[in-house]
C-alpha cells in the first residue's frame, strides 16, 4: 500500500475504503487491528459509519479463512498470488456479499472496483471486477435457511441462515466435522477437535457461532452512584437504546455506540463488562470488611467491581505485572469515584502483603488463551497453538502458587479465565488441588460463549478455599 493508495482513500473516507486500509497494514500474527483502525475513524463523521467500518474490519478478520476459501475456489487463484492491496479490497467485498445479505450486491462490487481504480490501472481494476463478478455469479442465495440449504455449499451467517453457493466446495459436516467447522468459522482445526472431544458436535457448533458473532456491548451500573433502573432510564432519555438484562444487573446497549461519549460515562455511572466476565466477583461474594488482593488487576474492570459490590468499604490491593496498564486501574477508580483501592507495583507486592496480609480473598483473573472471547479478541484465533496453551498453563499454575502463600485460613481464591479450554481451567485446578491438601474446591463454573438471546462470552471460575487448621 503506497502513498497513492493512502491519499486516495483518505480523500474518499468511506467505511469500506478505511477497512481495506486497515487490513493492508494488519498482520494477524504480529499486530492488532484496533490501534490501526482508531485513528482512521476520525475521518468518518457519523457514528453509524464508524461502526460500519469497525464491523467490516473485525468481521473480515474473524472470517478471513473462509473468505479466502471462497476467493480461491471461485477465482481459481490462490490468495497468495493476489497482491495484498487488491486482495484486501476483495476480502472486504466478499465479507459483505456473504455476511451482509441486505446490502445491495451492486453497491459492494461497484465500490470495490472504484477503490481499485484509485490504486491501480485497468488491469488491476478488471481483475478485481472479474473476481467479484465470478463470485456473485456462483451465489445461489445470499440468505438461505440452513435447514433447507446444502451444508457443503453454504457459509453460515447465523444459527439460522447462510450464504448458499451453486456448488459444493466445503467438507462434509458429518464425515469431516472438524475440517468443516474449521473452514466455515475460520478457527484452528486442532481447537475444533478439542472442542468436539470435550463438548460434542452440537455444542461445538454453537461455540463456533458465538466465537464469530458481532458481540453486544454490556455495561455494569456503578451501584455507588446509581441503580440499574435509573441508569437505563437515563440512557433512554438520552435516546440511547438500552435494555436491562434480567437477574444480571447489567444493561445491553442496542445499536452502534461510542461508549466513552455516552451520557453517564464521564460521570462514572457505569463500566463496560461482558455478562460472563461479571460472574467471577459475584461468585466470590466479597464482604465489606475483607482485605482483598487483585493479583492481575489491569485494566481494573473487576477491581472496581470488587469495590462496588462491597460499597467501597473493603480494603483492596491491586497490582499487575504490567506497570503501564496498572495506571488504567487508577484511571478507572478515579472516574468511578472509588477510594478503597490501593495500587502496588508488582515488585513491591511481597512487602505489601507482609504488611497487610494474609488476605481474606484473592482475585486471580489470569492471562489466558482467550478461547472464550474469540469474537472480541479477533486476532487470537491466528496466534493460538497447543504449545502456547501449555506455556499459559504454566504461568497460571505459578500465579496460583503465588496466591496460596498470601491467603489466610478460611480465605478464598477466585480463579478466573476467559478461556473454555480445560487445560487452563478444571484440569489445572484439579491438578493443583491434588498437590495442596490444605485447599478445597468450593465451587466451579464453566460458561460457554453463546450467540442467541443475550449473547455472551465464555469463561471459567473456580472458588478455592484454604481450610482452617
In a domain, 86, yes or no: yes
Please check whether residues 427 and 351 belong to one and the same domain: yes
Distance (Å, rounded) from C-alpha 111 to C-alpha 102? Answer: 16
Distance (Å, rounded) from C-alpha 308 to C-alpha 304? Answer: 6
Q: Is the pLDDT of residue 10 over 50?
A: no
Please check whether residues 259 and 389 belong to one and the same domain: no
Please check whether residues 22 and 54 belong to one and the same domain: yes
- 248 pLDDT band, cuts 50/70/90, is confident
Average pLDDT, the chain: 93
Please check whether residues 156 and 69 belong to one and the same domain: yes
In a domain, 201, yes or no: no
Q: Please check whether residue 320 is in contact with residue 349, taking contact to mean a CB–CB distance below 8 angstroms.
A: no
Where does residue 405 rank: exposed (0-12), middle (13-18), buried (19+ CB within 10 A)?
exposed
Which of 115, 145, 170 terminates a domain? The answer is 170
Distance (Å, rounded) from C-alpha 180 to C-alpha 160? Answer: 17
- 293 pLDDT band, cuts 50/70/90, is very high
Shortest CA distance to 365 belongs to which of 468, 283, 288?
Answer: 283
Q: Is the pLDDT of residue 1 over 80?
A: no
Average pLDDT of the segment spanning 184-212: 97
Distance (Å, rounded) from C-alpha 142 to C-alpha 100? Answer: 8
Model confidence pLDDT, tens digit, residues 167-183: 999 999 999 999 999 99
Please check whether residues 230 and 292 belong to one and the same domain: no
Angle at 266 between CA 260 and CA 270, to 5 degrees: 80
Please check whether residues 240 and 356 belong to one and the same domain: no
- 12 pLDDT band, cuts 50/70/90, is low
Query: pTM for this one?
Result: 0.92
- What integer pLDDT is reported at residue 42 of this predicted model? 85
In a domain, 72, yes or no: yes
In a domain, 202, yes or no: no
Q: Please check whether residue 115 is in contact with residue 20, taking contact to mean a CB–CB distance below 8 angstroms.
A: yes
In a domain, 456, yes or no: yes
- 412 pLDDT band, cuts 50/70/90, is very high
Please check whether residues 164 and 112 belong to one and the same domain: yes
In a domain, 252, yes or no: yes
Please check whether residues 308 and 250 belong to one and the same domain: no
Distance (Å, rounded) from C-alpha 92 to C-alpha 59? Answer: 9
Please check whether residues 155 and 287 belong to one and the same domain: no
The cell numbers describing 245, all together, are: 438484562
Please check whether residues 343 and 307 belong to one and the same domain: yes
Please check whether residues 286 and 237 belong to one and the same domain: no
In a domain, 187, yes or no: no
- 292 pLDDT band, cuts 50/70/90, is very high
The residue range of the domain holding 390 is: 279-466
Which of 237, 272, 307 terminates a domain? The answer is 272
Over pLDDT 90: what percentage of the chain?
A: 88
Model confidence pLDDT, tens digit, residues 64-96: 999 999 999 999 899 999 999 999 999 999 999
Q: Is the pLDDT of residue 162 over 80?
A: yes
- What integer pLDDT is reported at residue 2 of this predicted model? 44
The cell numbers describing 34, all together, are: 484496533
- What integer pLDDT is reported at residue 414 of this predicted model? 98
- What integer pLDDT is reported at residue 135 of this predicted model? 97
In a domain, 210, yes or no: no
Which of 170, 190, 205 terminates a domain? The answer is 170
Average pLDDT of the segment spanning 436-442: 95
- What integer pLDDT is reported at residue 46 of this predicted model? 78
Helix (H, G, I), strand (E, B) or coil at 358: coil
- 259 pLDDT band, cuts 50/70/90, is confident
Q: Is the pLDDT of residue 4 over 60?
A: no
Report the domain count for the chain: 3
CATH label of the domain that carries residue 450: 3.40.50.150
Model confidence pLDDT, tens digit, residues 419-430: 999 999 999 999
* Contacting residues for 421 by C-beta, under 8 A, at least 6 apart: 194, 369, 371, 389
- What integer pLDDT is reported at residue 402 of this predicted model? 95
Which helix (H) or strand (E) segment holds residue 407: the answer is: strand 407-417
Please check whether residues 241 and 337 belong to one and the same domain: no
- What integer pLDDT is reported at residue 301 of this predicted model? 97
Lowest mean pLDDT among 246-255, 265-274, 288-297: 246-255
Q: Is the pLDDT of residue 9 over 60?
A: no
The DSSP output letter for 143 is E
Range list of H helices, 103-227: 105-117, 122-138, 177-184, 189-211
Amino acid at each position: 500500500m503506497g502513498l497513492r493508495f493512502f491519499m486516495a482513500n483518505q480523500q474518499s473516507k468511506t467505511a469500506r475504503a478505511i477497512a481495506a486500509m486497515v487490513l493492508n497494514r494488519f498482520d494477524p500474527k504480529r499486530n492488532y487491528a484496533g490501534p490501526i483502525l482508531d485513528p482512521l475513524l476520525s475521518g468518518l463523521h457519523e457514528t453509524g459509519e464508524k461502526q460500519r467500518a469497525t464491523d467490516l474490519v473485525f468481521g473480515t478478520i474473524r472470517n478471513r479463512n473462509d473468505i479466502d476459501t471462497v476467493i480461491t475456489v471461485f477465482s481459481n487463484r490462490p490468495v497468495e498470488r493476489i497482491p495484498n492491496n487488491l486482495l484486501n479490497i476483495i476480502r472486504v467485498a466478499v465479507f459483505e456479499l456473504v455476511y451482509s445479505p441486505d446490502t445491495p450486491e451492486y453497491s459492494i462490487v461497484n465500490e470495490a472496483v472504484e477503490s481499485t481504480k484509485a490504486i491501480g490501472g485497468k488491469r488491476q481494476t478488471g481483475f478485481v471486477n472479474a473476481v467479484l463478478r465470478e463470485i456473485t455469479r456462483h451465489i445461489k442465495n445470499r440468505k438461505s435457511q440452513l435447514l433447507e440449504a446444502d451444508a457443503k455449499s453454504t457459509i453460515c451467517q447465523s444459527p439460522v441462515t447462510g450464504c448458499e453457493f451453486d456448488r459444493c466446495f466445503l467438507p462434509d459436516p458429518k464425515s469431516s466435522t472438524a475440517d468443516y467447522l474449521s473452514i466455515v468459522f475460520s478457527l484452528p482445526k486442532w481447537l475444533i477437535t478439542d472442542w468436539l472431544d470435550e463438548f460434542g458436535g452440537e455444542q461445538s457448533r454453537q461455540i463456533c457461532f458465538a466465537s464469530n458473532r458481532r458481540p453486544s456491548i454490556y455495561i455494569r451500573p456503578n451501584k455507588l452512584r446509581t441503580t440499574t433502573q435509573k441508569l437505563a432510564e437515563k440512557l433512554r432519555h438520552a435516546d440511547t437504546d438500552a435494555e436491562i438484562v434480567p437477574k444480571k444487573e447489567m444493561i445491553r446497549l442496542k445499536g452502534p455506540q461510542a461508549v466513552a461519549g455516552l451520557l453517564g460515562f464521564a460521570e462514572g455511572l457505569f463500566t463496560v463488562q461482558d455478562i460472563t466476565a461479571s460472574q467471577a466477583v459475584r461468585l466470590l461474594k466479597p464482604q465489606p470488611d475483607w482485605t482483598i488482593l487483585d493479583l492481575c488487576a489491569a485494566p481494573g474492570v473487576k477491581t472496581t467491581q470488587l469495590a462496588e459490590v462491597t460499597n467501597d468499604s473493603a480494603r483492596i490491593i491491586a497490582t499487575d505485572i504490567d506497570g503501564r496498564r496498572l495506571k488504567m486501574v487508577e484511571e478507572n477508580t478515579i472516574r468511578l469515584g472509588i477510594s478503597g483501592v490501593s495500587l502496588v507495583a508488582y515488585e513491591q507486592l511481597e512487602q505489601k502483603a507482609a504488611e497487610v496480609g494474609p488476605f481474606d480473598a484473592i482475585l486471580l483473573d489470569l492471562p489466558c488463551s482467550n478461547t472464550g472471547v474469540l469474537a472480541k479478541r479477533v486476532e487470537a484465533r491466528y496466534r493460538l497453538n497447543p504449545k502456547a496453551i501449555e506455556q499459559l498453563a504454566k504461568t497460571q499454575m505459578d500465579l496460583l502458587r503465588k496466591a496460596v502463600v498470601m491467603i489466610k485460613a478460611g480465605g478464598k481464591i477466585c480463579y478466573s479465565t476467559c478461556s473454555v479450554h480445560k487445560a487452563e481451567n478444571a484440569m489445572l485446578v484439579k491438578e493443583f488441588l491434588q498437590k495442596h491438601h490444605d485447599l478445597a474446591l468450593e465451587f466451579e463454573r464453566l460458561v460457554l460463549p453463546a450467540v442467541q438471546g443475550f449473547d455472551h462470552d465464555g469463561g471459567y471460575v473456580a472458588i478455592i478455599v484454604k481450610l482452617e487448621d
